[in-house]
A and B are shown apart, each in its own frame.
Chain A
Amino acid sequence: DIQVTQSPSSVSASVGDRVTITCRASQGIDRWLAWYQQKPGKAPKLLIYAASTLQSGVSSRFSGSGSGTDFTLTVTNLQPDDCAIYYCQQANTVPYTFGQGTKLEIK
């Protein structure tokens, strides 16, 4: 199975800051990677797919980049509503696997 490892496991930043979360796959997955945001008690929400395609309706403050094994999610102009857990997911090979999550807190 392809392992996906996120870092950091948690990050704290201030309103208006820029935050970057990384995801590393255990083998090359081309651009078969997505990013999700999950708030407490809610289902995950798709933010980015195919490494860098912004899901319809998602703020342009979210962006993704990378290919192969290394990927990043960047959130600019951080807002209080961005407080959540962020997961990456690879869709290159079954079983599709998720990173362990990054908890984003607002200072």
Chain B
Amino acid sequence: QVQLVQSGAEVKKPGASMKVSCKASGYTFTGYNMHWVRQAPGQGLEWMGWINPNGDTTYARKFQGRVTMSRDTSINTAYLELRDVRSDDTATYYCARDNSWYFFDYWGQGALVTVSS
């Protein structure tokens, strides 16, 4: 069965970088786009960007310059890196598989990143 297992919770200081991983199993990793979505505590969902099977990326304008999405096909893992984090980056970060229609059919369990001095 399809599974996306994310790395654990982190605490970061303002100005630091964060990196979340998402290990996929149960399907052909290189056959699907992977998206990243975040959710601040008690708030709604915010799309951050996606990486396609070729490794090409598309980022939301809001995050351009601070975000890098990458993947290691040898270990079926996608990564989200966000640099120069600030308090309003405190959120649960989700990876989500694209169902080939740009909708998200499988999600990771989420990784809570807290930015605090």
Give the contacting residue for B109; candidates A34, A43, A45; CB below 8 A.
A43
CB-CB under 8 A from A71, the residues of chain B are none
CA distance A46 to B2 in the complex (A): 14
Interface residues of B in 76-117 (CB under 8 A from A): 94, 96, 99, 101-105, 107-110
Q: A44-B45, A89-B45, A101-B44 given as contacts; is B107 within 8 A of A96 (CB)? A: no
Interface size class of B (residues with CB under 8 A): 20 to 34
In the complex, the 10 A-B pairs of residues with the closest C-beta atoms, listed nearest first:
A43-B107, A91-B102, A95-B60, A49-B103, A34-B103, A98-B45, A96-B47, A46-B105, A100-B44, A101-B44
Binding site for B on A (CB under 8 A): 32, 34, 36, 38, 43-46, 49-50, 55, 87, 89, 91, 94-101
Contacts of B44 in A (CB 8 A): 87, 98-101
Q: A43-B94, A44-B107 are in contact. Are A49 and B101 (CB under 8 A)?
A: yes
Cβ-defined contact, B46 with A98, below 8 A: yes
Question: Within 8 Å CB of A55, what residues of B?
Answer: 105
Determine how close the nearest CB of chain B comes to the CB of A6; give it in whole angstroms.
9
B104 touches A50 (CB 8 A): no
Q: A43-B108, A43-B109, A43-B110 are in contact. Are A98 and B47 (CB under 8 A)?
A: yes
- Would you call B58 an interface residue if the criterion is a C-beta within 8 Å of the partner chain's C-beta atoms? yes
B62 near A91: Cβ-Cβ < 8 Å: no
**CB nearest neighbor in A for B95:** A43
- Measured between alpha carbons, how far is A87 from B96 in the docked complex, in Å? 15
Residues of B within 8 A of A101 (CB): 44-45
- Tell me how far the C-beta of B32 lies from the nearest C-beta in chain A, rounded to whole angstroms: 14
Q: Give the Cβ gap from B81 to chain A, nearest Cβ, in Å.
A: 19
Is B47 a contact partner of A46 (Cβ separation < 8 A)? no
What residues of B have a CB within 8 angstroms of the CB of A38 in the complex?
A: 45
Residues of A contacting B105 in the complex (Cβ-Cβ under 8 angstroms): 46, 49, 55
